[in-house]
Amino acid sequence: MAEKITAVKGMNDITPETSAHWEWLEEQLRTLMQRYGYRNLRTPIVEPTALFVRGLGEVTDIVEKEMYSFTDRLNGEELTLRPENTAGVVRAAVEHALIYDGGKRLYYMGPMFRHERPQRGRYRQFHQFGAEALGFAGPDVDAELILIACDLWKALGLSGISLELNSLGQPAERLAHRQALIKHLSQHMDVLDEEARRRLHSNPLRILDTKNPDMQAVVEAAPRLMDFLGEASLAHFNGLRAILDAHGVSYRINPRLVRGMDYYNLSVFEFVTTELGSQGTVCAGGRYDGLFEQIGGKAAPAVGWALGMERILELLKSQDRLPADPVPDAYAVVPEAASMPQVMPVLRELRALGVNVQMHAAAAQAMGSMKSQFKKADGSGARVALIFGADELAQGQVAVKPLRADQSGSAPAQTLQPLSGVAQWGPGLRAV
């Protein structure tokens, strides 16, 4: 046999046992977004590399070391598999003038690519669902987005997810804070790791985001951006808090929450859980009023978040909130292969009525014994077996045999139904 070809490390197949969970989650998300008036935007998975370099910032983890970038062999274009989709959404919004007549509420979902060390909750191809509100400046939209996420946890039956909040202020405020921060960090050069030293002057704010335990004390004592915010920034932040408070949404203000991308300003937030080990951030976002201009569009305010679908599914699993596997309503037992021309049109008629019917099909030439067919019928989870025996067929009938016990604990009796009156077969066939 030829050598096996396997999937790329950190990139996973989603097999039918779990794809049902994905479809269910996607449906919940779509329904919720519709409720809030958000509409779907689908952008390409491949974008010009410059979009991310300019959009995310050159001195970020993603741009420095996580992007799958390549040169198109045929025309020399510099391309990148999208590591996130906010930059792509803004690019598309500029390209199609999506907010020419006011704001737009959008959502997306799909695969993202980052060359990270694969581990639980961290993959090289992973999936995000994101919501972006473009063209709205007020904290009401920031609050709306946070409330959507809270509604989602509720709809999914998830618990133990807490909200962390911060404000990054405006560029001028960040600059003043930055100078104070560099001054503070420079006094502790001996404690800073190589990465922090490298970023000291290029992106000191990101040093606050470090996961290095040796640097925690220094980072903890660093000047807080919150103390550098001016009146307007504070008003925005307090406006957001007032709306969250009015909804009884609890949150913790985390002054060290800075987020990985350069494009954020004012509100930033993360939803975190302690149940997923060190990959505990399930949803993260914030305001990015500067991004439109940064990638060559007309200035426009915007805010959004993205959630990691793998992490949400893992949390659903650990909290036992995943839906049961889908099962057919009926399983067709067909003793003789020669009956198929008579049987299959009946099954198709049932499907047209909305009944999910799985037909027995054998791996080998023969259909298999009745016993083995019943075993399959039972294993399928169907509530009834339709038995197309040759004798019944000859009389224009099919036996309908309930496979599951009813409330009284006993399986109802088998009945004979006319092939010619499928619509009249009565209750029990169609899932309620």
**Residues engaged in binding ligand ATP (CB under 6 A):** 84, 114, 116, 121-123, 126, 128, 260, 279, 281-284, 306-308, 310-311
CB of 10 to ligand ATP, least distance (A): 8
Q: Say which residue the tokens 């989603």 belong to.
A: 14
What are the strands of the beta sheet with 162-167, ordered from one edge? 39-40, 104-113, 125-134, 302-308, 281-287, 265-272, 162-167, 251-253
CB of 126 to ligand ATP, least distance (A): 3
Q: How far apart are CA 297 and CA 294, in angstroms?
A: 7
CB of 106 to ligand ATP, least distance (A): 16
Q: Say which residue the tokens 């020669």 belong to.
A: 338
Closest CA to 99 of 132, 134, 130, 133: 134
CB of 374 to ligand ATP, least distance (A): 43
CB of 236 to ligand ATP, least distance (A): 21
Closest CA to 130 of 284, 7, 249: 284
Q: How far apart are CA 243 and CA 74, in angstroms?
A: 53
Quick one: 149 or 307, whose CB is closer to ligand ATP? 307
Quick one: 73 or 211, whose CB is closer to ligand ATP? 211
Rg of the chain in Å (alpha carbons): 28
Say whether 402 sits in a helix, a strand or coil.
strand
Residues 6+ apart with CB under 8 A from 260: 56, 60, 61, 62, 206, 209
Burial class (CB in 10 A: 0-12, 13-18, 19+), 118: middle
Say whether 390 sits in a helix, a strand or coil.
helix
CB of 84 to ligand ATP, least distance (A): 5
Contact (Cβ atoms closer than 8 angstroms) between residue 193 and residue 204: no
Quick one: 266 or 429, whose CB is closer to ligand ATP? 266
CB of 272 to ligand ATP, least distance (A): 9
Quick one: 84 or 289, whose CB is closer to ligand ATP? 84
Per-position DSSP letters for 221-271, written without gaps between them: TSPPGGGG--HHHHHHHHHHHHHHHHTT--EEE-TT---S-TT-EEEEEEE
Quick one: 28 or 380, whose CB is closer to ligand ATP? 28
Quick one: 61 or 349, whose CB is closer to ligand ATP? 61
The residue at minimum Cβ distance from ligand ATP is 308
Quick one: 128 or 233, whose CB is closer to ligand ATP? 128
Q: How far apart are CA 305 and CA 128, in angstroms?
A: 10
Quick one: 126 or 292, whose CB is closer to ligand ATP? 126
CB of 121 to ligand ATP, least distance (A): 6
CB of 431 to ligand ATP, least distance (A): 34
Quick one: 62 or 357, whose CB is closer to ligand ATP? 62
